[in-house]
Amino acid sequence: MTAKNAWKNAFLALTFLGAATSQAAASPPPNMAISGKANPPIGHYEFCKTHMDECKPLPGGDAGPAILSQNTWKTILRVNFDVNSSIQPVTDKELYGVDEYWAYPTTAGDCEDFVLLKRKLLMQEGISASDLLITVVLQPNGEGHAVLTVRTDRGDFVLDNMRNKVMLWSETEYTYLKRQSAADPGRWVKIQDGRNTTAVGSVSQ
């Protein structure tokens, strides 16, 4: 093992320990509270029309929070860093000429595209789709944003294209509005967290 890899493994172990400590010390619940159905964002609704297999009810339903082992934590950190480093953030208007369009990015994309790619890669690593939930939040400046919530037995962690650090949802500055259902990725549920404000366009179903 090279000195660089040894340092990296030590860092990942420390961040894993920090995540566990942070979860235990957090004042709000480590897992988000859900409060009923929500309308899906327009972009996700349109995405599901062309990716129907990714928006079907899960065969086993909600599998429950993932067990956060050290290897799983390393995988989460690696995928978050790799996607953040390889994709250039640009708006849908700049990239596609429309206000909102969800797609898997190759070199560039907006926040939803980052989330889609991270979710896909983590599913390929063996994490259940029921624990990888696209989540809509409100930034302090009032703008809508999307992050990926990873449900675990140590709390709900957030993967964000604006930072490489993976944090508990309760440690971020966001107001959480809604996310995918853990049992049906084509459906969305409300999150009990502050203002119930629609940050991105939604459709009724």
* pLDDT tens digits for range 74-87: 999 999 999 999 99
Assigned domain for 197 exists: no
pLDDT category at 28 given cuts 50, 70, 90 is low
Q: What are the φ/ψ torsions at residue 161 (nearest 5 degrees)?
A: -75, -10
The H-or-E segment that residue 159 falls in is strand 155-160
Q: Are 159 and 115 in contact (CB under 8 A)?
A: yes
CATH number, domain of 146, equals 3.10.620
Nearest to 185 by CA among 34, 32, 53: 53
Number of domains in the chain: 1
Assigned domain for 149 exists: yes
CA-CA-CA-CA dihedral for 197, 54, 34, 24, to nearest 10: -110
In 3-state terms, what secondary structure has residue 116?
Answer: helix
Q: What are the φ/ψ torsions at residue 30 (nearest 5 degrees)?
A: -65, -20
Q: Domain range holding 9?
A: 3-191
Assigned domain for 22 exists: yes
Strand partners, 163: 160
Summarised one tens digit per residue, pLDDT across range 138-196 is 999 999 999 999 999 999 999 999 999 999 999 999 999 999 999 999 999 999 875 34
User: The whole model's pTM is what?
Assistant: 0.83
